[in-house]
Chain A
Amino acid sequence: MSQTDTAVIDREWKRYALGERIARFVVYLALVAAVVLSIRTVEVIPDFILDAPEQIADLLRRMWPPDVASYPQEIHAALLDSLHIATVGTVLGVMMALPFGFLAARNVTPWAWLNWLARLVLISTRSINTLVFALFFVAVFGPGALAGTLAIAFHSIGFVGRLFSEALENTSPGPIEALRAAGAPGASVISFGYWPQVSPAFWSLVLFRWDINVRESIVLGLVGAGGVGMALDNALNLFQWNRVAMVLLAILGVVIAAEVAVTYIRKKII
């Protein structure tokens, strides 16, 4: 064999093409630059960092033992309120999200301007945090569970609607075309063509959202929107650390129970 033949074989093998390597390098560089810039400009007092472990240990010492007696008095009812807010908020949110999900799916709604309009609603409700919605609704409806429930519902629209429209767009067009060809009206096309194909995805994302909403409903009380967050806020403002610890333990229990319940129901129905 001549020299030129082996030159092709001897060339070093590289896993990625040049363009890919440059793109990755740029990402790494940007990341390092962002971290260095953040460290240099963020306003953190170094003494506080050194002092942090001691302060956290002190906080934990004050919290122990948890004030178990306070649970039946004021925590239990507030915790149940949080769960009610999460559930009702999820149901309302899903009901509002469904139409936008259908409108945002390109294969269900053939008008591009409607797709974009629906997508704008989904993006903006997803980008406004539950707490911001809660601040709004507390200002409009006054403090209490109504504000919290609506905050949960509105923030859920974007999440549920987006994932639902993606599930709709991933359906197979076969059954739908068959129904259309048979002259089925729009409602029948949705309930017999789309729905059977998307229902597993739908139930699983509703359960997932409920799980998230249980966690979110707990903080709502901090801005006066009902639930166990208000009990937490009271205890914090009065520096009753043992009571704070009890609220945190109760929250931990509920959140873990919700996660277990969601896993169980998901296995049962899907």
Chain B
Amino acid sequence: MGAPVNWPARIAWLVFALYFAYALSHLQLTPARFIAGLDFGYKFLAKLFPPDFQRWELLLKGLKESLEIAILASVLGLIISLPVSLLAARNLMPAWVTWPARMLMVVCRSFHPVIIAILFVKAVGFGALAGILALTVASLGFLGKLFTEAIEEISLKQVEAVRATGAPFMSVIAFGVAPQVFSRFIGFASYELDSNLRNSTMVGIVGAGGIGGTLFAAFQRFDYDFVCAIILSIIGMIIVGEVLTHVVKKVFRA
């Protein structure tokens, strides 16, 4: 074949292959260790089944708390990220306003929700409040970014038309900006609810409420058939959540 050889790409691949080999040996990821674990893994899987749903009340309580954390954090995150994303939109605001708003969102987005949850557990104590605050911060990071991008992509013609009538700032937002981004916002918000639902089942690992605490405790007690029951219920809840957000997106054509 006559295709010219792409030397920079070849060198980049070679460098990556060398790095990959180095990383494998540095992390001591050897096939021998993997195979040694497999046998134990098989026994472990055998212990997981059949799942034990006997303590279903505890399970249901955890799931309910996770759901509450996810809903409240999404709503709070939505309420906070609407004004922040307006401030961060470069086509509506001057640079000295957009930079601080953008920095805030980058910081919120950079940390995993579980790490934020640790800090809130230390600050406000164990329980659902820490989880709600942690996921609110995480939502602000992601929703803020998506909202800002959506606002920056709008057509400015309508905004100028509303401005030309002498409308005050809030009316420009309500009639010039909001109708253009509404359905995309619904899509992003339901995506965020979905993602908060996933994370709200995990913040409990560090004591921030929800089913994660029950899961972690069961793991530490080697109560593996209960672990299996918890994981299966989490998967069930996440799939139901995914179906529901799909329905909402369809209703709003987002």
Report whether chain A binds chain B.
Answer: yes
Binding site for B on A (CB under 8 A): 20, 23-24, 27, 34-35, 37-39, 41-45, 48-49, 51-52, 55-56, 58-59, 81, 84-85, 87-88, 91, 123-124, 127-129, 131-132, 135-136, 139-142, 144-146, 149, 215-216, 218-219, 222-223, 226, 232, 236, 248, 251-252, 255-256
Binding site for A on B (CB under 8 A): 19-20, 23-24, 26-29, 33-34, 37, 40-41, 44, 64-65, 67-69, 71-72, 75, 106-107, 110-112, 114-115, 118-119, 122-125, 127-129, 132-133, 198-199, 201-202, 205-206, 209, 215-216, 219, 231, 234-235, 238-239, 248, 251-252
**Is A251 a contact of B122 with CB atoms below 8 Å?**
no
Q: In the complex the two chains form, what is the Cα distance from A52 to B205 in whole Å?
A: 21
Q: In the complex the two chains form, what is the Cα distance from A34 to B73 in whole Å?
A: 12
CB distance from A45 to the nearest CB of B (A): 7
**Is A149 a contact of B27 with CB atoms below 8 Å?**
yes
Given contacts A127-B239, A131-B202, A132-B215, contact A41 B68 (CB under 8 A): yes
Given contacts A52-B124, A251-B115, contact A146 B68 (CB under 8 A): no
Q: Give the interface SS of chain A, mostly helix, strand, loop or mixed.
A: helix
Sample 17 A-B pairs with CB under 8 A, ordered by A number: A23-B251, A27-B251, A44-B132, A48-B125, A59-B119, A91-B20, A128-B234, A135-B215, A135-B216, A135-B219, A140-B40, A140-B44, A145-B28, A145-B29, A146-B34, A219-B114, A226-B27
Q: In the complex the two chains form, what is the Cα distance from A149 to B29 in whole Å?
A: 9
Given contacts A145-B27, A222-B206, contact A232 B115 (CB under 8 A): yes
Given contacts A42-B68, A48-B129, contact A219 B123 (CB under 8 A): no
Sample of 7 further A-B pairs with CB below 8 A, known A35-B75, A255-B111, A256-B106 = A141-B40, A141-B41, A144-B28, A149-B29, A219-B115, A236-B122, A251-B110
